A and B are shown apart, each in its own frame.
Chain A
Amino acid sequence: MPGKAFAVVVVIITLATAYCVMAHVWWMPADISVHGPRIDHQIEETVLVAGLLFVAGQVVLAAFAFLYGGARDKPKQIPGGAKPLVIFAFAIVGTEILALSSIGSKAWGAVYFEAPDPSAMHIDVQAGQFAYYFRYAGPDGKFGALHPELINEGNQNFFGLDPDRDPDAKDDIITAELAIPVNKPVLLTLHSKDVGHSFDVRELRVQQDFVPGLNIPLHFTATQTGRFEIVCTQLCGLGHYNMKAYLSVLKAADFDEWLKRQAAMQ
């Protein structure tokens, strides 16, 4: 009786879980990046492979608990003993692993192993407890040097620029929102002002930690306009839950206008 109950409970849990995953009850938002489809494809493949193993494992467990609970015949071992199990593990699981790895490496490589487009728009991103600030190079196309000792948040000098003495810094545009033009490659350089943070945009299929002391490049191309959230996923202190900025993907003309407006507000 407990065996049958166990089997029923396990099957119900398995089916409920499988349903929630297949029906996308809680699921990823639509992808808006060039490399995203490869990642989504990889996730779908993994759902298939892992899902089959999950269902098979739980159902077989349930079946055996159901069938052999309270049985009183002489026990017998599965024909072949452990050999078929070991072979299955190496052969089937091993093959799946190799397949996932080799296809997956292309999805990963699309983000990290390819050099950014030489025409990519360069944007400097700083994460600090508990906000993101973004820097555009301005008309001169050059970023001014950063001087951490000059950071003065009360004066909104978040990056520690020295515009009076550094001509490159004079026209840098600092914003609290990341706007990018649609269908144009973008290259972000991520650096942290204080502790570890992360740059996570679900729709872009991009997640990259900020590491204090490092300048980390991250490039992508957004394929749809809209307003999306950049959230921090690396525990950074009390305000971690409220550390975010908006990503606006704009049509080219809208982006130019946005940048002009931001420049005027500096």
Chain B
Amino acid sequence: MRTGCKVAALASALLVFAIGLLYPGIGVNAASAGQITGTVKLDGVAPHMKGIDMSKDPYCAKATANAPAHSETVVVGPNGGLENVVLYISDGLSGSSLTQPATTVPVFDQKNCLYMPHVLALNVGQTFKVTTSDQTGHNVHPNPNPMTGNVPFNQSQPPGAAPFEKSWKAAEFIQVQCNIHPWMHAWFAVVKGPYATTDENGNYTINNLPPGSYTVTAWQETYGTQTQKVTVAAGKPGTADFTFKAK
């Protein structure tokens, strides 16, 4: 019987190994997961971000009375860091690292008559949840290019409306706006593979990268894209800093 147990144990181990072979890259081994970090800055004088007059909707005006909102097309931090820049891998990834969408469900909220976040980076096929925290009606109206296969929608969200979930079929940078409050604009940056968005200091970290050589693309809604080549090794993150030139 002991021989039988050994055989059973060996067979199980073989089975697990075989199964493991069938699902490559399901989760990058933590010990070998790599990162790319960096900072994105703006060189030059930041363009003036005009204040938003929300007087057409007294609820919005009241909500922003103490903290008036501004256009968010170019948001620059105190040290020249560019916020809301999306970093993603445009070359070098393959297999499930590229095609498997992240499993988190980010929230796209309507709060104080602004979309939050202003730029939501997503994977192709990644579910996101649209919520409203405002007591005034909004609508969520993204405008994808009809050629990509992404399906446009125009979903109203009255006060107290239940959240709804969506996902995008193809990689694209999609503008979304509220028609009721025309200043409310945002972006869905739909990309493949791991991604990151810069914070208020322009800093970012892309996680979950297997070791290898990659091309990183930085996308900013006004200044467009820039690319850099980066190598990632286990335990040694790659770095890529970007500088966009103010017009």
Contact = CB atoms under 8 A, between A and B. Distances in A.
**Residue in A154, A156, A239 with the greatest tally of chain B CB atoms within 10 Å:** A154
A176 B56 CA distance: 7
B146 interface: no
Contact of B139 (A175, A239, A265): A239
A155 interface: yes
Contact of A130 (B54, B72, B73, B179): B179
B78 to A, nearest CB: 22
Interface string A102-114: 0000000000000
Contacts of A119: none
Interface stretch (A13-21, A41-49, A242-250): A242-250
Contact of B51 (A131, A132, A245, A265): A265
B183 interface: yes
B60 to A, nearest CB: 10
Contact of A244 (B51, B56, B72, B185): B56
A197 to B, nearest CB: 13
Q: Which range contains the number of A residues in contact with the other chain?
A: 20 to 34
B65 to A, nearest CB: 15
Given A156-B71, A242-B136, A265-B50, A177 B55 contact: yes
B71 A154 contact: yes
A156 B179 contact: no
**Residue in B53, B54, B183 with the greatest tally of chain A CB atoms within 10 Å:** B53
A131 B55 contact: no
Interface in B53-87: 53-57, 71-73
Interface string B177-203: 101111101000000000000000000
A237 interface: yes
Interface in A75-104: none
Contacts of B156: 238
A156 B183 contact: yes
Contacts of A176: 53-56
A245 B56 contact: yes
B179 A129 contact: yes
B180 A155 contact: no
B137 interface: yes
A156 B52 contact: yes
B37 interface: no
Contact of A242 (B52, B55, B137): B137
B53 A175 contact: yes
A47 to B, nearest CB: 33
A181 interface: no
A57 B246 CA distance: 75
A156 B72 CA distance: 10
Contacts of B136: 242
13 contacts: A129-B179, A132-B56, A155-B73, A156-B50, A156-B52, A176-B55, A237-B179, A238-B180, A239-B179, A239-B180, A242-B136, A243-B180, A265-B50
Interface of B: 50-57, 71-73, 136-137, 139, 154, 156, 175, 177, 179-183, 185, 221
Given A238-B139, A242-B137, 17 more contacts: A128-B182, A131-B56, A131-B181, A153-B183, A154-B71, A154-B185, A154-B221, A155-B71, A156-B52, A156-B71, A237-B179, A238-B154, A238-B156, A243-B56, A244-B56, A265-B50, A265-B53
Task: List the 10 closest pairs (A to B, CB-CB), nearest first.
Answer: A154-B185, A176-B53, A239-B180, A153-B182, A129-B179, A156-B50, A130-B180, A131-B182, A177-B55, A155-B73
Interface of A: 128-132, 153-156, 158, 175-177, 237-239, 242-246, 265-266
